[in-house]
Copies of this chain bind each other. A is one copy, B any other.
Amino acid sequence: VSTLDELDTPFLAVDIDIVRRNVAAMAAMVTARGQVLRPHAKTHKCPEIARLQLAAGATGLTVATVSEAEIFAAAGCTDIFIAYPIWAGGRRGSRLRALAEQVSLRIGIDSVESAEALARAIDGDHVEVVVEIDSGHHRSGVAPDLAAGVATAAMRAGLEVVGVFTFPGHSYGPGNGRPAAQDEASAISDASAALYDVGIAPTVRSGGSTPSARFADGAAVITEVRPGVYVFNDAQQLELGTCDWSDLALCALATVVSRRPSTIVVDAGSKVLGADQASWATGGGRLPDYPDARVVAMSEHHATITLPPDIDTPELGSRVRVIPNHVCTAVNLADYLIITSAGDVVDRWAVSARGANT
């Protein structure tokens, strides 16, 4: 194992002590409310971190793709929810059937057609099915009053419908965490009532995102939450007020390669940090050692950073830490995470599900 200084930049470094604290805090909050925690593994894509989450009280994992499910199943995870409106055609259908024989598998649907395609693919094997509802993000998912129709069709096709799920993605905006959590609770409540009306008990009522998780406290309505980003946090969560500087567990180490007064260019660009930048973000990432600095431009291998005039501009060849805006896409660009504790490198963990999109 090298020291941090011996590793050529850019690379992603993880403070594993902060990860453990974030993992424990979310588990404590969610279980204290009487809910199930099923963290989204798309953030870390790393079996070692999944094991930390499961050891801390998570019931199972959430993933976004069949290939992520395959990788975490191979790593020993036995309870997996693919929180995505899966189209179970072609080889993907056979892959789902193989997974269903290996782990406890739950799959999302949001249409009669996707339910029927899934039933054909699964062909009587056991999976749990949940109907995706749109709670205000307007991506996939049906309106709450249409959930019963999809659930009924799924049941008739031979699937076991166990409930509903939603992703309140509109929580990603300043001040949006609480109102998005309220939308989520309403949508889940309405869809659940509609399922009861057609004789289906929605025992799984799954919601959650990192910005809304703290507000999703009605266990009578929401039985399960699925945050992902909380394990590392990122510049978006910092700027949304979901976390503090001390909760940021992952950064890119970058070298200053070009310099002029109050401006540096570092070697971590969009191929390391990701290009995600919401309209409300103050820049392309944040620097924990220079809170008033801003990433004002980014290209593939350059981030241009401005600093306040009263701050000494970092020297050429020195290193700075940059927090990505969106940690999920930054991790998906890396083959390895450098694991540190108290500033020392203690391990190197593979991002095993990097690029697992199918």
- A binding-site residues for B, Cβ under 8 Å: 5-11, 42, 64-66, 84-87, 89-92, 95, 110-111, 113-114, 117, 138-141, 169, 255-259, 265, 267-268, 270-272, 274-277, 297, 299-302, 304, 316-317, 326, 328-329, 332-335, 355, 357-358
Contacts and interface: CB of A to CB of B under 8 A. Distances in A.
18 contacts: A5-B90, A8-B358, A9-B358, A64-B301, A85-B258, A87-B256, A111-B316, A138-B304, A139-B258, A139-B299, A267-B357, A271-B355, A274-B275, A275-B275, A275-B276, A300-B328, A301-B357, A333-B333
Pairs A-B, 9 closest by C-beta atoms: A140-B258, A8-B358, A275-B275, A113-B316, A275-B276, A64-B301, A85-B257, A140-B265, A8-B92
Contacts of A90: 5-6, 8
A305 to B, nearest CB: 11
B259 A270 contact: no
Nearest to A256: B87
Contacts of A326: 275
Contacts of A276: 270, 275
B87 A275 contact: no
- Indicate how many identical chains form the complex: 2
B316 A300 contact: no
Nearest to A258: B140
A300 B64 contact: yes
Nearest to A86: B257
A176 to B, nearest CB: 15
B87 A257 contact: yes
Contacts of A117: 317
A335 B317 CA distance: 31
Contact of A65 (B270, B301, B304, B333): B301
B333 A355 contact: yes
Contact of A89 (B66, B89, B111, B317): B317
A111 B259 contact: yes
A357 B277 CA distance: 21
Contacts of A85: 257-258, 265
Nearest to A139: B302
Contact of A10 (B5, B95, B272, B357): B357
B89 A255 contact: yes
Given A267-B87, A271-B357, A329-B270, A317 B258 contact: no
A358 B316 contact: no
Contacts of A270: 274, 276, 329
